[in-house]
């Protein structure tokens, strides 16, 4: 792979990561409730971080550090997505109400019976 | 470059430290304290002390947060 | 009147402290005694004197061995205090609020934790055993082991966790760090040297070096595993809830 292609790919991946991080931060500040905030927050952790680590891996090339970066990507995938899932699930089980435009949530939600086992 | 990163981390450290004192909700304070430990761990690696960084990340951000949350769950959540 | 005396005494102490600060060597100055005597000694002779190429490990285990022994005893005392106040968990019977609720932990979390915990423990063992050359050592590895067991307990519940690591096997391990330190310390006395001496007099150079490596390894492993198990025991004692105990297992 020539240097130009490598540098271009690095810039593309890095910018993707930065874009996702900016979007995630704005979403975290602007979204109304826990469930909609989890959505941008976990995108930050997965897509944003992994894009930036892939950009770093491209710059490093074949090296021992490349293996470490692959391990980092793997651990990011293994930890951030399930933790987001766990937060959302426990909030739902403990009865945190989703936000609704009219202020009143039609409860139980459709499919709620299946999840809570009532 | 090193200098700006350290300044940013120190600012974040001060902000989290003040937040831990000011927040009345103890659960939120415990979470912010774990963020403080994480920033502190990164600062230790910046200061070339990886041994301390490992301890700070494992004990500060991991174990004590869980112990704080268990204690809050068994006592009260709001500080009077 | 009392207020005036108090203010006078405080002012006197303040003046004395300010005077003392003025006499102190400038902070971080390269001409201070710790920079001219202590640090070069550790950096130059640490490897041959202490037997560890990682200077931090050399300081913790050798130059400041007494401090480390005190720290280990402090952690053990913390466990004793927690157990004295809260009591031990009852194997197979201790429950938390999460365990008695109908909702079980999700499959995603369980699968992830089941995969991650062995990886974390493997990493912790590497940190403990490799502490002489790379950053890390007993305390760090022990904290990571404790964190991995806490992770397992949060996902699978207290009964499953106390079945995997029963009280019977934890009790001897908890005091292992203190015992390892004391054993290493008294080995020196046995050979006629001081307490916590690693190089035994009256042996050939090769044998003394081997004995020192083995002793440091035993202390590191002791601190690591005992630290992890102590964290686990504190967490088990704190997380269990008395009102749910002694109820028959529904499943």
* High-pLDDT (> 70) share of chain A, %: 85
Q: Which residues from chain C sit within 8 angstroms of residue B63, using beta carbons?
A: 143, 146-147, 150, 231, 235
Q: What is the pLDDT of residue C250?
A: 52
Q: What is the pLDDT of residue C74?
A: 92
Q: Where are the alpha helices (DSSP H) in C59-204?
A: 65-86, 97-100, 107-129, 138-156, 158-164, 167-174, 176-190
Q: Which residues from chain B sit within 8 angstroms of residue C56, using beta carbons?
A: 51
Q: What is the pLDDT of residue A116?
A: 45
CB C140 within 8 A of CB B52: no
pLDDT (tens digit, 9 = 90+) per residue, A53-75?
Answer: 999 888 887 788 888 888 888 88
Is C15 inside any structural domain? no
> What is the rounded average pLDDT of the residues A26-46?
88
Band of pLDDT at residue A115, cut at 50, 70 and 90: very low
Q: Say yes or no: A111 contacts chain C, CB-CB below 8 A.
A: no
CA distance C147 to chain A (A): 14
Q: Using CA atoms, how far apart are residues C3 and C16, in angstroms rounded to an integer?
A: 20
Residue C63 confidence (pLDDT) above 60: yes
Q: What is the CA radius of gyration of chain C?
A: 24
Question: Of A60-69, B17-26, C129-138, C211-220, which one has max mean pLDDT?
Answer: B17-26
Nearest to C114, CA basis, from C145, C148, C89: C148
Q: Which residues from chain B sit within 8 angstroms of residue C143, using beta carbons?
A: 54-55, 58-59, 62-63
Residue C8 confidence (pLDDT) above 80: yes
Span of A1-10, A24-33, C242-251 with lowest mean pLDDT: C242-251
Q: Say yes or no: B58 contacts chain C, CB-CB below 8 A.
A: yes
Q: What is the pLDDT of residue C157?
A: 85
Quick check: pTM over 0.95?
Answer: no
Q: Using CA atoms, how far apart are residues B5 and B10, in angstroms rounded to an integer?
A: 9
Is pLDDT larger for residue C40 or for residue A105? Answer: C40
Q: Say yes or no: A82 contacts chain C, CB-CB below 8 A.
A: yes
Span of B25-29, C7-11, C59-63 with lowest mean pLDDT: C59-63
Is B69 inside any structural domain? yes
Q: What is the pLDDT of residue C194?
A: 80
CA distance B17 to chain C (A): 23
Given an 8 Å threshold on Cβ–Cβ distance, is C140 in contact with B71?
Answer: no
Give the total number of structural domains in chain C.
1
Is B65 inside any structural domain? yes
Q: What is the pLDDT of residue A107?
A: 60
Q: Using CA atoms, how far apart are residues C19 and B65, in angstroms rounded to an integer?
A: 42
Among C95, C120, C150, C158, the residue to mutate for chain B (most B Cβ within 10 A): C150
Q: Say yes or no: B11 contacts chain C, CB-CB below 8 A.
A: no
Chain C's closest residue to B55, CA to CA, is: C140
Point out the residue among A79, A86, A117 whose CB comes nearest to the CB of C102.
A117
- Residues paired with B25 in a beta bridge: B78
Among C100, C108, C155, the residue to mutate for chain A (most A Cβ within 10 A): C108
pLDDT (tens digit, 9 = 90+) per residue, B36-71?
Answer: 999 999 999 998 888 889 889 888 888 899 899 989
Residue A108 confidence (pLDDT) above 60: no
CB C241 within 8 A of CB C95: yes
Is C37 inside any structural domain? no
Is B47 inside any structural domain? yes
C203's CB contacts (< 8 A; 6+ apart) are: C191, C211
Span of B1-5, C10-14, C117-121, C210-214 with lowest mean pLDDT: B1-5
> What is the rounded average pLDDT of the residues C49-61?
79
Q: Both tokens of residue B34?
A: 């774990």
Band of pLDDT at residue C77, cut at 50, 70 and 90: very high
Residue numbers of the domain that contains C70: 63-244
Specify the 3-state DSSP secondary structure of A117: coil
Given an 8 Å threshold on Cβ–Cβ distance, is C103 in contact with A116?
Answer: yes
Considering only residues 89 to 128 of chain C, which have any Cβ-Cβ distance to chain A shorter than 8 Å?
A: 102-103, 106, 108-109, 112, 115-116
* High-pLDDT (> 70) share of chain C, %: 96
Over A7-71, what HEC string results? HHHHHHHHHHHHHHHHHHHHHHHHCCCHHHHHHHHHHHHHHHHHHHHHHHHHHHCCCHHHHHHHH
Q: What is the pLDDT of residue C49?
A: 77
Q: Using CA atoms, how far apart are residues C233 and C83, in angstroms rounded to an integer?
A: 8
Residue C121 confidence (pLDDT) above 90: yes
Is B79 inside any structural domain? no
Is B80 inside any structural domain? no
* High-pLDDT (> 90) share of chain C, %: 24
Give the total number of structural domains in chain B.
1
Q: Say yes or no: B71 contacts chain C, CB-CB below 8 A.
A: yes
Residue A8 confidence (pLDDT) above 70: yes
Residue A90 confidence (pLDDT) above 50: yes
Residue numbers of the domain that contains B7: 2-74
Band of pLDDT at residue A19, cut at 50, 70 and 90: very high
Is C221 inside any structural domain? yes
On whether ipTM exceeds 0.95, the answer is no
Q: Which residues from chain A sit within 8 angstroms of residue C104, using beta carbons?
A: none
Is B27 inside any structural domain? yes
Point out the residue among C103, C109, C116 whose CB comes nearest to the CB of A93.
C103
> What is the rounded average pLDDT of the residues C181-197?
83
């Amino acid at each position: 792979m020539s240097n130009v292609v490598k540098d271009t790919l690095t810039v593309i991946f890095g910018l993707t990561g930065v874009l996702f991080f900016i979007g995630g931060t704005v979403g975290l500040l602007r979204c109304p409730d826990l469930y909609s905030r989890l959505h941008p927050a976990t995108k930050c952790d997965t897509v944003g971080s992994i894009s930036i680590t892939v950009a770093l891996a491209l710059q490093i090339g074949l090296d021992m550090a490349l293996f470490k970066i692959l391990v980092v990507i793997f651990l990011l995938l293994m930890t951030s997505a399930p933790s987001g899932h766990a937060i959302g699930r426990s909030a739902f089980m403990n009865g945190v109400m989703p936000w609704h435009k009219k202020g009143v949530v039609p409860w139980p939600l459709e499919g709620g019976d299946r999840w809570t086992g009532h | 470059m090193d200098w700006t990163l350290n300044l940013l981390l120190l600012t974040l450290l001060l902000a989290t430290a003040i937040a831990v004192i000011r927040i009345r909700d103890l659960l939120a304070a415990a979470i912010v304290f774990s963020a403080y430990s994480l920033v502190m761990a990164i600062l230790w690696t910046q200061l070339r002390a990886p041994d301390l960084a490992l301890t700070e990340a494992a004990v500060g951000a991991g174990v004590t947060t869980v112990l704080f949350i268990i204690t809050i769950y068994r006592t009260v959540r709001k500080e009077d | 009147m009392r207020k005036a005396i108090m203010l006078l005494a405080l002012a006197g102490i303040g003046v004395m402290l300010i005077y003392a600060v003025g006499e102190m060597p400038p902070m971080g100055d390269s001409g201070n005694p710790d920079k001219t005597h202590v640090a070069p000694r550790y950096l130059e002779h640490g490897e041959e004197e202490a037997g560890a190429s990682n200077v931090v490990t050399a300081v913790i285990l050798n130059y400041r061995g007494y401090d480390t022994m005190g720290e280990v005893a402090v952690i053990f005392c913390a466990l004793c205090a927690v157990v004295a106040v809260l009591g031990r968990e009852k194997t197979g019977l201790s429950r938390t609020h999460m365990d008695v609720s109908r909702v079980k932990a999700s499959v995603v979390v369980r699968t992830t934790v089941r995969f991650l915990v062995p990886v974390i423990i493997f990493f912790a063992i590497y940190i403990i055993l490799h502490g002489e050359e790379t950053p890390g050592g007993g305390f760090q590895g022990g904290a990571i082991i404790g964190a991995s067991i806490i992770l397992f307990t949060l996902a699978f519940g207290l009964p499953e966790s106390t079945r995997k690591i029963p009280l019977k096997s934890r009790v001897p391990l908890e005091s292992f760090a203190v015992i390892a330190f004391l054993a290493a310390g008294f080995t020196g006395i046995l050979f006629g040297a001081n307490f916590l001496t690693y190089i035994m007099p009256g042996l050939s150079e090769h044998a003394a070096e081997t004995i020192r490596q083995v002793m440091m390894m035993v202390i590191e492993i002791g601190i690591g595993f005992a630290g992890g198990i102590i964290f686990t025991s504190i967490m088990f004692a704190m997380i269990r809830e008395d009102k749910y105990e002694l109820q028959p297992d529904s499943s």
